[in-house]
């Protein structure tokens, strides 16, 4: 059973940066398309960035140019570098595969103050 553990969230001011990490157990990580998702209060969970096993990326329009997804297969870890944060980026951030097949982790809270 794969486990996902997200970390790196926090409280920042608008314009600042954060780097999120998600560590996955299991050897199949390197073959998976990985994604970062977020869920704001009273909103549905949405995909903000994805990264295939051959390093093709895709971003939601709302984060293009500000967020960068990357991975380190040797560490079974996927990252999300978030720059120029905005209050509307406030949410709990989760990682999972591109088709959400693994059990969700606890997420990491990102709060951006104006």
Q: Which pLDDT belongs to residue 88?
A: 97
Q: Which pLDDT belongs to residue 21?
A: 98
- pLDDT, averaged per 10 consecutive residues of the chain (114 residues), comes to 94 98 88 96 97 97 98 95 98 95 96 97
Q: Which pLDDT belongs to residue 29?
A: 87
Q: Which pLDDT belongs to residue 1?
A: 81
> Cβ distance 85 to 112 under 8 Å?
yes
Q: Which pLDDT belongs to residue 30?
A: 87
State the first-to-last Cα distance of the chain, in angstroms, to the nearest integer. Answer: 40
Q: Which pLDDT belongs to residue 27?
A: 73
């Amino acid at each position: 059973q794969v486990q996902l553990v997200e970390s790196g969230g926090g409280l920042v001011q608008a314009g600042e940066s954060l780097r999120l990490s998600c560590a996955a157990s299991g050897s199949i990580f390197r073959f998976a398309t990985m994604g970062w998702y977020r869920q704001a209060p009273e909103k549905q969970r949405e995909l903000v960035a994805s990264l295939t096993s051959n390093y093709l990326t895709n971003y939601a329009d709302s984060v293009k140019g500000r967020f960068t997804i990357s991975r380190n297969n040797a560490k079974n870890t996927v990252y999300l570098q978030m720059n120029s944060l905005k209050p509307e980026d406030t949410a709990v951030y989760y990682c999972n595969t591109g088709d959400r097949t693994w059990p969700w982790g606890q997420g990491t809270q990102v709060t951006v103050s104006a």
